[in-house]
Amino acid sequence: MKVYNKMKWALGILLVFIIVLITNLIDRDNFNRIRYSIVTIYEDRIVANDLIFEISAAIHKKEIALVKSDTSFFRQKNSQVNDDIQRFIDRFEETKITKEERVAFNSLINHVENLQRLESEYMDSKFRDKSELLSLISDIKDDLYDLSKVQLKEGKRQMSLSEKTMDTIELFTQVEIIFLIVMAVLIQLIVLYQPKDKKQSQAPE
């Protein structure tokens, strides 16, 4: 095989390699963006929303006990409920918290701490005044509501990002097909091109 033919084949193979490499890098980037969105939706939104539900359920138990003046609840079960709430809050802290979410979350932590302090005072006073506790529980429910709305908002935002990425992949796929066709033709031209021999091209004297 002549040196020129070897160079043609080498150039053709190099072009194919470059096409495959570029396509792979772009596809990998798009795939990583979609995977990130899916992971974020699950770990930082669905899990967070479940934790909000668990905290709400625990707070609801306290509210029912207060309304019913269930003193046995505070003597026997309230400590465990507080431990559960703290565990849910610690787990929530591990999720990716946005600036908007941080405001509501810090408010929740502050209100929960105050609630536990007032509960101790409530028990020490032999369960006399519960109005302040009920008011604080209402504030906590507002915090949880705000947090749940953030989960919905951020979930929608991540879904929108995923949809945009999918649209980009679809567009790129169409461009990629056209590009591959053009490059295939170009490679064929390079490989099949045969320059005229200079001696043969010279006109006879």
Three-state DSSP string of 142-188: HHHHHHHHHHHHHHHHHHHHHHHHHHHHHHHHHHHHHHHHHHHHHHH
User: What is the pLDDT, as a whole number, of residue 104?
Assistant: 93
The candidate with the shortest Cα–Cα distance to 129, out of 205, 69, 47, is 69
pLDDT tens, residue by residue, 146-201: 999 988 887 777 777 767 767 776 777 777 677 777 777 776 676 666 656 544 44
C-alpha 82/C-alpha 134 separation (Å) is 16
Q: Is residue 198 part of a domain?
A: no
Q: Is residue 101 part of a domain?
A: yes
User: What is the pLDDT, as a whole number, of residue 114?
Assistant: 96
Q: Is residue 205 part of a domain?
A: no
Q: Is residue 199 part of a domain?
A: no
Q: Is residue 157 part of a domain?
A: yes
User: What is the pLDDT, as a whole number, of residue 196?
Assistant: 60
The candidate with the shortest Cα–Cα distance to 175, out of 186, 167, 185, 163, is 167
User: What is the pLDDT, as a whole number, of residue 53?
Assistant: 94
User: What is the pLDDT, as a whole number, of residue 90?
Assistant: 95
Amino acid at 87: R
C-alpha 13/C-alpha 10 separation (Å) is 5
User: How many structural domains comprise the chain?
Assistant: 1
Q: Is residue 203 part of a domain?
A: no
Q: Is residue 8 part of a domain?
A: yes
| Contact present, 61 and 73 (Cβ < 8 Å) | yes
Low-confidence ranges of the chain (pLDDT < 70): 1-6, 8-9, 12, 24, 27, 30-43, 162, 165, 169, 176, 187-188, 190-205
Counting other chains too, the contacts that 185-191 makes at CB distance below 8 Å and 24 or more residues apart are 186/15, 187/12, 187/15, 187/16, 190/8, 190/11, 190/12, 190/15, 191/8, 191/9, 191/12
Q: The whole model's pTM is what?
A: 0.66
Domain that holds residue 66: 3-193
C-alpha 36/C-alpha 127 separation (Å) is 50
Q: Which CATH number fits the domain that encloses residue 57?
A: 1.20.120
Q: Is residue 54 part of a domain?
A: yes
